[in-house]
């Protein structure tokens, strides 16, 4: 596992494991951050030619409609670059909130946890 | 639309609330939701309901920032001391107003390109009560409430 070169522009660390990328999101996703994350991720997909991206949101406490929209949009963009996006670790309270609002995370594969996500990422 | 009610709500004084956040820039959206989360936690809401309250505030603050550029999120503890306290959320702006309130509550309807169109309808689903007062050229006020449940 190697971390991509550190860059002050990076909002989150992106770890490369074989031919996929692991992105542990451990910060509050405000609107600017989530857009920068999208940009950063697409660049890394291009650079590393990753087959899959795993977004780990285990520590993210709030996912609202805009964050959902941007994550789905990012996954659609990644798909156009030949890369799958797997989201894992959605907290129960966040799952309740998203479901109650009627938000569907399109384009994203959902995994229970990181282990499950790694299995999905390797199985393609 | 009830113009008097809209005016009264737009004139709400910040000091009458437990928390008031002015929304003037994008960063204020995250500030508003963090402060809402803190207040809900203090009031003893469950983690699930705290998350719903903070998410609702996030949606309302973003709507203010997007459509009205500026406005306020006001939060108040209600029924203090009773077994079932509630949190009241008021989102108020003197922005362009909404021509068709029923339409914006339709899931999937949006005038903003980067959006799911779920903001307001989502807030309504997350809360126990929800009312919207709006008039074109005057502004918009959303009043929502969430009661604390025993758990």
Q: What is the ipTM of this complex?
A: 0.91
Smallest Cβ–Cβ distance between B115 and the set A63, A66, A94 belongs to A66
- Which residues fall within 8 angstroms of residue B116, CB to CB, at 6 or more apart? A65, A66, A68, A69, A103, B108, B110
- pLDDT given for residue B79 in this prediction: 87
User: Would you say residue A2 has pLDDT above 60?
Assistant: no
What pLDDT was estimated at residue B110? 86
Q: Where are the domains of chain A?
A: 2-122
Residue B115 to residue A92, Cβ atoms within 8 A? no
Distance from CA of B4 to the nearest CA of A (A): 31
Contact B122 A32 (CB under 8 A): no
Alpha-carbon span B71 to B92, nearest angstrom: 6
Average pLDDT (B10-16) is 95
Q: What is the third-level CATH fold of A2-122? A: Transcription Regulator spoIIAA (3.30.750)
User: A64–B62: do the CB atoms touch at under 8 Å?
Assistant: yes
Which pLDDT does position A4 carry in this prediction?
A: 53
Q: What is the mean pLDDT of residues A22-27?
A: 92
Which of chain A's residues have a Cβ under 8 Å away from the Cβ of B53? none
User: Considering only CB atoms, which chain B residues are within 8 Å of A31?
Assistant: 26, 29-30, 62
Q: Quick check: A106 contacting B, CB < 8 Å? A: no
Identify the closest residue of chain B to A103 by CA–CA distance. Answer: B118
Mean pLDDT value across chain A: 91
Distance, C-alpha A48 to centroid of its chain = 16
CB-facing half-sphere around the CA of B54: CA atoms within 13 A: 26
What was the pLDDT predicted at A31?
Answer: 86
The pLDDT tens digits for A59-82 are: 999 999 999 999 999 999 999 999
Grade residue A9 by pLDDT with cuts at 50, 70 and 90. low
- The pLDDT, as a whole number, for residue B123 is 97
Output the domain CATH number for residue B22: 3.30.565.10
Mean pLDDT along residues A34-51? 95
Three-state SS for B39-95 is: HHHHCCCCHHHHHHHHHHHHHHHHHHHHHHCCEEEEEEEECCCCCCCEEEEEEEECC
Segment A23-29 shows an average pLDDT of: 90
State pTM to two decimals: 0.92
Q: How confident is the model at residue B150 (pLDDT cuts 50, 70, 90)?
A: confident
Per CB-CB distance under 8 Å, the chain A contacts of B57 are: none
- pLDDT tens digits along B19-65: 999 999 999 999 999 999 999 999 999 999 999 999 999 999 999 99
Question: Residue-wise over B9-27: b if at least 16 C-beta within 10 A, else e?
Answer: bbebeeeebbbbbebeeee
B83 CB-near residues (< 8 Å, 6+ apart): B150
Q: What is the domain extent for residue B90?
A: 3-146
Residue B9 falls in which region: left (phi positive, over 0), alpha (psi -120 to 50) or beta? alpha
pLDDT single digits (tens) B124-135: 999 999 999 999
> Does residue B151 lie within any of the structural domains?
no
Interface residue A70 vs chain B (CB under 8 A): yes
User: For residue B120, is it within any domain?
Assistant: yes
Q: Which of A27, A31, A91 should be substituted to probe chain B, the one whose Cβ sees the most B Cβ atoms within 10 Å?
A: A31
- pLDDT given for residue A3 in this prediction: 55
User: How many domains, chain B?
Assistant: 1
Instruction: Report the candidate in B2, B148, B12 with the shortest Cα–Cα distance to residue B71.
Output: B12
Main-chain dihedrals φ then ψ at residue B77, nearest 5 degrees: -80, 135
pLDDT for the residue numbered B112: 82
Count CA within 13 A, CB hemisphere, residue B1: 20
State the pLDDT at residue B142.
97
**Nearest residue to B112 (alpha-carbon basis) of B63, B59, B71:** B63
- pLDDT number for residue A7: 61
| Residues in chain A, overall count | 124
């Amino acid at each position: 596992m190697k971390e991509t070169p550190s860059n002050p522009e990076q909002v989150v660390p992106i770890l490369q494991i074989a031919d996929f990328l692991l992105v542990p999101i451990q910060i509050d996703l405000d609107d600017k951050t989530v857009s920068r994350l999208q940009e950063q991720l697409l660049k890394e997909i291009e650079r590393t030619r990753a087959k899959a991206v795993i977004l780990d949101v285990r520590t993210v406490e709030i996912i609202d409609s805009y964050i959902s929209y941007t994550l789905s949009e990012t996954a659609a963009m990644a798909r156009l670059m030949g890369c799958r996006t797997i989201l894992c670790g959605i907290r129960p309270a966040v799952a309740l909130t998203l479901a109650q609002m009627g938000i569907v995370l399109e384009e994203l594969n959902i995994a229970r946890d990181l282990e499950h996500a790694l299995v999905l990422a390797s199985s393609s | 639309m009830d113009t008097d009610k809209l005016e009264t709500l737009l004139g709400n004084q910040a000091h009458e609330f437990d928390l008031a956040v002015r929304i003037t820039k994008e960063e204020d959206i995250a500030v508003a939701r963090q402060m809402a989360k803190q207040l809900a936690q203090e009031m003893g809401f469950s983690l699930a309901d705290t998350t719903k309250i903070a998410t609702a505030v996030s949606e309302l603050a973003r709507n203010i920032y997007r459509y009205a550029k500026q406005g306020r999120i006001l939060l108040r503890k209600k029924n203090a001391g009773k077994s079932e306290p509630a949190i009241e959320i008021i989102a108020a702006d003197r922005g362009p107003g909404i021509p068709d309130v029923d339409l914006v509550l339709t899931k999937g309807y949006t005038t903003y390109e980067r959006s799911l169109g779920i903001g307001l309808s989502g807030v309504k689903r997350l809360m126990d009560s929800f009312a919207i007062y709006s008039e074109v050229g005057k502004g918009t006020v959303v009043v929502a409430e969430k009661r604390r449940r025993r758990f």
